[in-house]
Amino acid sequence: MSRIPQSFIDDLLNRLDIVEVIDHRVKLKKAGKNYSACCPFHEEKTPSFTVSPDKQFYYCFGCGANGNAVGFLMEYERQGFVDAVESLARVAGMQVPKETTEKDVKHAKKQRGLYDILGLASTYYQKQLKEHTSRERAVSYLKGRGLSGAIARDFGMGYAPPGWDNLLVKLGTNEEDRHLLVESGLVIRKEGEGKLYDRFRHRIMFPIKDTRGRVIGFGGRVLGDDKPKYLNSPETPVFSKGRELYGLYEARQSNRKLERLLVVEGYMDVIALAQYGMRNAVATLGTACGEDHLKLAFRYVNEVVFCFDGDNAGRTAAKRALVNALPAMEDGRQIRFLFLPEGQDPDTLVRQIGAERFTAQIENGVPLEEFLFDAVAEGIDVNSMEGRARFGKLAAPLLNTLPNGIYRELMFANLAKRTGLSLDLLLELTKEKVSLVAEPAKPEANQQPQPEPELPAHLGANIGGNISASTPPHLDESYAHIPPLEPDYVARTAQTSAPKPAPVKRSSITLNPVRLCTILLLEYPKLVATLNNIPARAETEDEELTRLFDLIEYIQQRPNCSFNSILGYWGGRYGIEQQQALADLVANQLMGSVRSVENYNPEQELEQSLARIGQKLQKANNQKELAKLQAKGLGNLNNEEKERFRELVRLQHQQT
């Protein structure tokens, strides 16, 4: 796939002023060196959304939203990365270049061919619903479900007539088109014989569209006695049922400012609700709602409501959706669960009670947190000591899948209150493996070890390390409205241990040295050129240390880079989440206003912190070497190895 060169993105960001980009959409007010406004990404009365013209960066202290001009447009306009870059390039009067190879050209041609053949198939099916001699049964079925011609048109519904080769004869006029029909899943090639035949026959057809309105697949509802009742397109280069939501494109066409999506089971549920004016329903395509589905949904709304049958099967499906939803529950998002009366589905219920009462039921849906704790408590006597222990053991690992943030902290606080268990114990319990559904999870091949779970910040974990009490509360004086640090965050780990040989001078800022180095390099990237003793890169499981080495290497390759260009590169190279993690470091109030500390020297601070990192790495290497010598056996060591063994033991005692 062709990609936009990083050099172009850097140039684009340098030409644009983020203040102008944002002010065009959200009215900004001057506040010291920066600009502020009420955040466009969450409701608030007091402005906590800040834009820095120096860093060309925005940050909200209320919800944590942050990024550069590209990131803002992606979030505010709900655009993809490429679309956001192209939009800004038009403003700047620049042409977006693309890095392409011969492989890219062939891939793009194939993609266009698949989209074209699927679009032609959709047109063909729609025409058959209007003109085919056997269309009456299809029309009668749709009328019997209460659907109007206008709704059928809005969703592009069609009809695949009986017969084995109707579509094949119509569209497969040459070998290339026949190949596209097979690869798109519209036509099946019989194994062994090479014969071709239509996949969809005598079915009501539902075109599945991506967020750009391109047809990427189909669902078909049988009109006769054939099985299965519903048939979907197979996975193809342009269609993956695990990443698409049926009806999302139509919902956005109906309302560009959607606030909520209702996730239902099938095509007819989506269309029946639309017939009654409820144009915000979507459906998964014969699979459970997964994390990718939710990522897609939350690109456009902040609230998702799952609609399930009220029977045992419905509750089991709801539990699967719950487990998949937890990693997507970032602050500001909301998920509810609506359980319908047994024997009802959205299609039948909305016809029975009407849209107004159906909407009222949605409003009264069960919040995720309530359903989670209720589901975990099933079959447990939470009034007994043993029951509360069991409850905590089941709930803690589930809560640990929540992303870091206020919502996660509140959920852990809720669990602590419900069980009476200490937070330290709850953190230990997060290592347990649990399942809300009966069937055991299949083990994943080559599963990577999970990172150590984090305890929520205000419940005992000190994210980012400690900071001296004398450090001012934030990075810029214009952020003076940020409340002072709570006592829990004030430095409390100063020790009076005996001096060690060759000590490294400690900074007054006692952040984790790896994190502090990262922040300093983001603030002052040109300092890399002044460093004399950068620790050699080492293999490590410490993700923050790996990130620091990556950052140093990037700055060494681009000595004139800025914070903004680093952020842009990081988002393209490592993804939006990693980009936001970097942004959070710089904006994190735990760092304090280092520039206002008297006689503050960032170069000295960086050198000292890197020296501490080097000592830590050397200590780890020494421990590994000592372990190897011990494993060899003292009696098997030669004189040189014995001398090295004694030296390593001496160093180990000095460092403890």
Give the Cβ contact number of residue 424 at 10 Å: 11
pLDDT score, position 477:
31
pLDDT score, position 503:
39
pLDDT higher than 90, residue 337: yes
Q: Work out the angle at residue 625's Cα, subtended by the Cα atoms of residues 621 and 626, and round it to the nearest 5 degrees.
A: 115
Split at pLDDT 50, 70, 90, the class of 464 is very low
pLDDT score, position 498:
36
Instruction: Output the average pLDDT for the chain.
Output: 81
Give the Cβ contact number of residue 613 at 10 Å: 22
pLDDT score, position 150:
94
Split at pLDDT 50, 70, 90, the class of 472 is very low
Split at pLDDT 50, 70, 90, the class of 510 is low
Strand partners, 282: 263
pLDDT score, position 448:
44
pLDDT higher than 70, residue 377: yes
8 Å CB contact between 372 and 322: yes
pLDDT score, position 435:
67
Q: Mean pLDDT throughout 8-19?
A: 85
pLDDT score, position 601:
77
Split at pLDDT 50, 70, 90, the class of 100 is low
Distance CA 436, CA 419 (A): 18
Q: Mean pLDDT throughout 589-603?
A: 52
Q: Mean pLDDT throughout 76-82?
A: 85
pLDDT score, position 538:
75
At a CB cut-off of 8 Å and minimum separation 6, what does 314 contact? 308, 339, 340
571-574 CB contacts, 8 Å cutoff, 24+ apart: 571/67, 571/70, 571/71, 571/81, 572/6, 572/9, 572/81
Distance CA 367, CA 387 (A): 23
pLDDT score, position 605:
82
pLDDT in tens, 610-625: 888 888 888 888 888 7
Q: What domains does the chain contain, in order, with CATH numbers?
A: 6-92 (3.90.580.10), 102-232 (3.90.980.10), 248-373 (3.40.1360.10), 379-440+452-459 (no CATH)
Least confident of 145-159, 308-322, 427-441: 427-441
The residue count of the chain comes to: 656
Query: Which residue's structure tokens are 């036509």?
Result: 187
Split at pLDDT 50, 70, 90, the class of 656 is low
Distance CA 58, CA 35 (A): 9
pLDDT score, position 353:
92
Residue 402 Cα distances to 41, 276, 449, 576, 583, angstroms: 20, 36, 17, 17, 20
At a CB cut-off of 8 Å and minimum separation 6, what does 212 contact? 249
Split at pLDDT 50, 70, 90, the class of 99 is low
